[in-house]
Amino acid sequence: MSPRLAFIGLGRMGLGISENILHHGDIDKPLVLYNRTMEKALDHSRRLGDCQVAESIPAAVSAADIVWLCLQDQEAVEEAFDQILTTDLHGKLFVDSSTTTPDTANSIARRVCDAGGEFVAAPVMGGPPMALTRSLICIASGPAGSVDRVRPYLNGVMCRKVVDLSGEDPGRGLLLKLMGNFLIMATMETVAEAHVFAEKSGIGIDNMNRLMSAVFPDPPHALYSRQMLTGEYHSGTPLVEVSKALTLMDEVLDLAHQCGASIKIYETAREHMQAAQELGGPNTDIAGVYGAVRVESGLPFWNTPE
Ligand SMILES: NC(=O)c1ccc[n+]([C@@H]2O[C@H](COP(=O)([O-])OP(=O)(O)OC[C@H]3O[C@@H](n4cnc5c(N)ncnc54)[C@H](OP(=O)(O)O)[C@@H]3O)[C@@H](O)[C@H]2O)c1
């Protein structure tokens, strides 16, 4: 028999992931939904059908064999597990796609296992549009048998590729995920500086775009260029707000300092992220590092898209 699944956290990422699990995963319907703001869960349930909205986290957990979470940050995850741990966890598997620190993931995994449950860390790379189109990259870590229970809902269901760390501590998956964030921010910093350099030198952003797409034919350079040059970083709905990114960036810097790694490009990106927050406000998208580099180079923060 297929397992019953509950999904907790219907934010920008959770909406897409839960929809794909419902439509493409082999689960015993209905899919149980819980969100702190219940209206969002009710809307999602009405739109998808085959769902049932739970009134509390313990109610969602009691109704499911597999409980998937995708919450804002580690405080939210810790609060959720404080409630989860008041229920009977025997036989239940928890899958967390939230971004937390490695220590938090390991500590939650220990608490869940001590209470008779299983825990798999499944943080993701890729934003809300990729969550909707099943194009995420998922890093799966935890006991091999537990990861095997989650595997039917990963590749081709909620993501397009799994970086498989089964058998390793959940914290190792989070460590790799935070290094993925390092790669993204370092690339975004490069793209932002390249475009400002092109504009200031007179060669122009169009020529820089042509060069970038010739040298790096695939995203992410093209994607970040679009977010910057179209002005999406200041006029669209943010995919990730600078205020949220700054907290995560500090965690990455702490991890790098703890192990003695020198990541200067990331420190520069952190400075530009801070400036983007000051110049554009906390809800500016992370591509606002472009605006910060522009200001440093004597240009206005807001660009004028063609
Ligand atoms: N956005 C991205 O591009 C992206 C990419 C990769 C990974 N991620 C990770 O995915 C996770 C979710 O991101 P998101 O963009 O979907 O965030 P989001 O849109 O801000 O949604 C956050 C979710 O967490 C819930 N929440 C927040 N605080 C809570 C609390 N104290 N108790 C219970 N629920 C709480 C929110 O409930 P309400 O609806 O009630 O506010 C909402 O469902 C994060 O860990 C993020 O780092 C995001």
Domain-terminating residue out of 115, 139, 168: 168
76 Cα to the center of ligand 1, angstroms: 8
Residue nearest to atom 10 of ligand 1 (CA): 98
Q: Which of 275, 286, 265 has its CA nearest to residue 186?
A: 265
237 Cα to the center of ligand 1, angstroms: 15
Which is catalytic among the residues 29, 92, 161, 177? 177
- Domain co-membership, 59 together with 146: yes
Q: How many domains does the chain have?
A: 2
- Domain co-membership, 161 together with 204: no
In a domain, 95, yes or no: yes
- Domain co-membership, 190 together with 124: no
70 Cα to the center of ligand 1, angstroms: 6
- Domain co-membership, 27 together with 161: yes
- Domain co-membership, 72 together with 96: yes
- Write down the pLDDT at residue 239: 87
Residue nearest to atom 37 of ligand 1 (CA): 36
204 Cα to the center of ligand 1, angstroms: 38
In a domain, 306, yes or no: no
In a domain, 302, yes or no: no
- Domain co-membership, 88 together with 12: yes
pLDDT per residue over 262-286, tens digit each? 889 999 999 999 999 999 999 999 9
Q: Output the six-digit token pair for 305.
A: 């898209």
> Whole-angstrom Cα distance, residue 106 to residue 210?
45
- Domain co-membership, 185 together with 277: yes
Domain-terminating residue out of 152, 168, 184: 168
The atom number, within ligand 1, closest to the CA of 14 reads 16
DSSP designation for 285 = B
Burial degree of 39 (CB within 10 A; 0-12, 13-18, 19+): exposed
- Domain co-membership, 212 together with 98: no
Residue ranges making up the domain that contains 64: 5-168
> Whole-angstrom Cα distance, residue 18 to residue 44?
10
Domain-terminating residue out of 131, 150, 168: 168
Beta strand pairing call for 161-166 and 137-142: parallel
In a domain, 50, yes or no: yes
Name all residues whose Cβ lies below 6 A of ligand 1: 9-14, 35-37, 40, 70-73, 76, 79-80, 98-99, 124, 127-128, 239-240
Strand, helix or coil for residue 70: coil
> Whole-angstrom Cα distance, residue 233 to residue 287?
5
264 labelled catalytic: no
Note the residue count of the chain: 306
Residue nearest to atom 21 of ligand 1 (CA): 11
- Domain co-membership, 30 together with 66: yes
Q: E strands of the chain, at which residues?
A: 5-8, 31-34, 51-53, 66-69, 93-96, 118-121, 124-125, 137-142, 161-166
Residue 15 CB-half CA count within 13 A:
14
Q: Which of 109, 27, 10 has its CA nearest to residue 66?
A: 27
- Write down the pLDDT at residue 290: 95
Per-residue CA distances from 165 to 39, 104, 198 (Å):
36, 17, 41
Report the CATH number that the domain containing residue 208 is assigned in CATH: 1.10.1040.10
- Write down the pLDDT at residue 46: 98
In a domain, 11, yes or no: yes
The atom number, within ligand 1, closest to the CA of 8 reads 43
Ranges of residues in the chain with a pLDDT under 70 are: 219, 305-306
- Domain co-membership, 128 together with 181: no
Collect all residues with Cβ–Cβ distance below 8 Å to 233 and sequence separation of at least 6.
227, 276, 280, 284, 285, 286, 287, 288, 290, 291
- Write down the pLDDT at residue 305: 67
In a domain, 84, yes or no: yes
In a domain, 303, yes or no: no
- Domain co-membership, 137 together with 184: no
Collect all residues with Cβ–Cβ distance below 8 Å to 239 and sequence separation of at least 6.
12, 127, 128, 129, 227, 285, 286
Report the CATH number that the domain containing residue 119 is assigned in CATH: 3.40.50.720
In a domain, 156, yes or no: yes
- Domain co-membership, 201 together with 163: no
Q: Are 21 and 47 in contact (CB under 8 A)?
A: no
